[in-house]
Amino acid sequence: MIEKLSRIYSKFTQIVDGISDNFLGLMARIAVAVPFFNSGQSKLEGEPILGLKWNIFAVKESKKYLFQYEFGFPEAIAPAMTHGAAIAENLLPIALVLGLAARLSAMGLMAMTLVIQFYVFPDQLLRWNGNWSLHLLWLMPLTYILARGPGNWSADRVLQRRLTPQEPLLGKSHSG
């Protein structure tokens, strides 16, 4: 019985070991982009066109209030922080899903996550049910992308292939 279970488990691990890093990179990019993009969309004024708000410079006044009075940013920088967050949360997730400057996009979203955790909600670190666990769920795919890159199914890889000089198939040619 144990030997049969061992063979089944071994076969299972062979199958899941075959999951492509390219697939994992794409799934990580999509999984973490969605909550940030939704947050960015919630900060924007205006009616959606084709389901999206397009004016990334039109930030809701209520969000500026939130940054100043709820999150504790000083009055002088709260509007700039609100606009910066709205722009970053709308652009970085799109770049991340496309795999365009994916590592830089991941670093930007990591920085936002760390600011949220350590500046906005530092008291949550001491609670067993605090929002730190949600932030770990965001940081894990971002760390994967930062460490491994976006994978071959990305604009970064396409650009890299086009911009990297290709060596001749038969080795380097010597002239002269």
Q: Domain range spanning residue 39?
A: 28-154
Residue 6 located in a structural domain:
no
Contact 89, 40 (CB under 8 A): yes
pTM of the model: 0.85
pLDDT single digits (tens) 63-102? 999 999 988 899 999 999 999 999 999 999 999 999 999 9
Residue 87 located in a structural domain:
yes
Beta-strand (E) ranges in the chain?
none
Residue 170 vs residue 18, higher pLDDT: 18
What total of structural domains would you count in the chain?
A: 1
Q: Which residues touch 52 (CB under 8 Å, ≥6 apart)?
A: 41
Contact 44, 58 (CB under 8 A): yes
Angstrom distance (rounded) from CA 167 to CA 175: 15
Residue 138 located in a structural domain:
yes
